[in-house]
Amino acid sequence: MEATTFTNVQIERAQRLRLRRCLLSCLFYAASASLLAVACGMGLFPRNALYLVLVSFFCTPALFVAVIATGANLRCRDPSLTEAQIAAAMLNCTLVLTFAGPLRGIVMFAYLLPLQFGAFALTTPVLLRLCLIPAAGLPFAIAASHWLGMRGAALELELVQWMALMLVLPFTAYVAGRLFEYTRYKRLSDHDELSGLYNRRAALAYLDQLTRLSTPNQVEFCVAVLDFDHFKQINDRFGHAAGDEVIRGFALLARDNLRKGDVIARWGGEEFVVVLHGDSEQARNSIERLRMACASHVVTAIGGAVTLSAGLARHLPGESIASVIERADHALYAAKRAGRNRTELASLPLDRRQAGTAP
């Protein structure tokens, strides 16, 4: 599969999210530092070691924030730096364990916390690889502690505690990795491979859920059916690879120009369905913004822009999914007949028109 490209807007949005997650890790370090300060006040953790740990706790998240803020992370295979951040947190745990003394049996389970951050982002092999850090780190911390004269529990007990950790950590990594795999498979089943948008099955499931909520809760929404103009001519003239580029480029435009909460799915071929919350005017403004963005976007493979036509229907109380999509589809064909590159509003069903229902 070809590498996915992203617009500058999407990259900036992803960077802001990564920064927020990185800043969230600062809370983890701050909470850990507070607990160590309490332990130090109770005489359970050496004061000089606390200063060293606090410096490490401050520098670690600051380094990752700086890397993401400057955009240097975009050159990495994983721009979120998830594995690196978990590894750094585990190394900091090892540093604390070196000076934990009698607290080592409790503190060592802090290794479990960083693994949770990789539950939906890292595969099982990567998480198991990260378990090698505590596997080697805890014996190193025990040896360094004894070398510094900071003895904790008996060596036999420390060995049993290490064995217990080695039993719990791989199991936790396996479960966390399975969560990632489930999320990945769920995405593959719900998303179109070419465009990355929701597929028909996911869109129907979403509409089914929405229609169940709409009538009792007065949730207002519209459905639009979109179709590229003269798409067959693009495939015939420039080849199917060019047609694929048109679809991928449109998916990026849709993510940037639709409102937050609007859901777009690839319905089939060059046809798309958009579910838009709000009334007809709000929905039409959103579709028009996307249509004009598409008309002004130059597709490299064809050396020009591709226009699209849209049919928009407001969901009526008690109306079925098939009915609202059919009305939007009829409006789409009306837009085609009216000259293309336009949005048409759907008419009411015959029974509603006869009953005088307002559009």
pLDDT tens for the chain, 359 residues long, are 344 556 666 678 788 888 888 888 888 899 889 999 998 888 888 888 899 999 999 999 999 999 998 889 888 888 889 999 999 999 999 999 999 887 888 888 888 888 887 777 788 889 899 999 999 988 888 888 888 777 666 777 878 888 888 888 888 888 888 877 777 777 778 888 888 899 999 999 999 888 887 666 667 899 999 999 989 889 888 898 889 999 998 998 898 889 888 999 999 888 999 999 988 899 999 999 999 999 998 888 888 899 999 999 999 888 889 999 999 999 999 999 999 999 999 887 655 554 454 44
Distance of alpha carbon 28 from alpha carbon 339, whole angstroms: 59
Indicate the residue type of 84. A
Helix or strand holding residue 265 (H, E): strand 263-268
Domain parsing of the chain, residue ranges? 8-190, 200-355
pTM to 2 decimal places: 0.66
User: Packing angle between helix 8-41 and helix 240-257, nearest 10 degrees?
Assistant: 50
Question: What is the CATH number that goes with domain 200-355?
Answer: 3.30.70.270
Distance of alpha carbon 307 from alpha carbon 309, whole angstroms: 7
Q: Cα angle at 157 between 151 and 160, to 5 degrees?
A: 130
Which DSSP category does 298 fall into?
P
